[in-house]
Amino acid sequence: TNRTFTMIKPDAVENGHIGAILEKITAAGFKIVAMKFTQLSTRDAEEFYAIHKERPFFGELVEFMTRGPIVAAILEKENAVEDFRTLIGATNPAEAAEGTIRKLYATSIGENAVHGSDSDENAAIEGAFHFSGREIF
Ligand code: GTP
Ligand code: MG
């Protein structure tokens, strides 16, 4: 068993998809071990996405991720990181497989409904960014 970190992004919250997305996540066998409704500050978003600092869409990404509340969560399952990225689908919803969360609920490559960690190492870093030990069950 291991863990991944996710965020339901501002677009999906605005569009009323929190419940449907959490249902897909739990139905796929992920256990929620930490969860909160919160909003990223500009500094939070710049730090969280520091790896994309030099990309042309960085400003747009920070603007988007800070414009409204998100749901942040740590999820537990065997093979969590890889299985969760399969469940959410490709970054660009136009390329995402049928039935994936991004295919169903994302708007565009930028406003793509959910985040999923891309490695066990980043899952641990991202989880610790959002949650203290006492908030993880
Ligand atoms: P995350 O799970 O959010 O990390 O998505 P990802 O791993 O599928 O994609 P990546 O890490 O490459 O990019 C991070 C985020 O930047 C994406 O989820 C998008 O929100 C945004 N992004 C990526 N490419 C583009 C782009 O070409 N234009 C815009 N506006 N945003 C982009
Ligand atoms: Mg990524």
Is the CB–ligand 1 distance for residue 90 below 6 Å?
no
How far, in Å, from the CA of 110 to the mean position of ligand 1?
6
Structural domains of the chain, with CATH: 2-135 (3.30.70.141)
The mean pLDDT of the chain is 97
Q: Helices H, strands E: what count in the chain?
A: 7, 4
Q: How confident is the model at residue 43 (pLDDT cuts 50, 70, 90)?
A: very high
Q: Is 52 one of the annotated active-site residues of the chain?
A: no
Residue 83 to residue 8: CA distance in whole angstroms: 17
Q: Residues lining ligand 2 (ion), CB within 5 A? A: 118
Task: Tell me: is residue 67 an annotated ligand-binding position.
Answer: no
Which residue, among 86, 88, 73, 87, has the nearest Cα to 123 in the 3D structure? 73
ipTM of the complex: 0.95
- Work out whether strand 70-77 and strand 2-8 pair parallel, antiparallel, or are unpaired: antiparallel
Strand order in the sheet with 114-116: 31-38, 70-77, 2-8, 114-116
Gap from CA of 117 to ligand 2 centroid (Å): 6
In percent, the amount of the chain with pLDDT more than 90 equals 99
pLDDT digits over 51-99, tens only?
999 999 999 999 999 999 999 999 999 999 999 999 999 999 999 999 9
Provide CB contacts within 8 A for 88, sequence distance 6+: 96, 100, 101, 102, 113, 114, 116
Region 89-115: what's the mean pLDDT? 97
pLDDT computed for residue 100 by the predictor: 98
- Compute, in angstroms, the gap from residue 112 CA to the centroid of ligand 1: 8
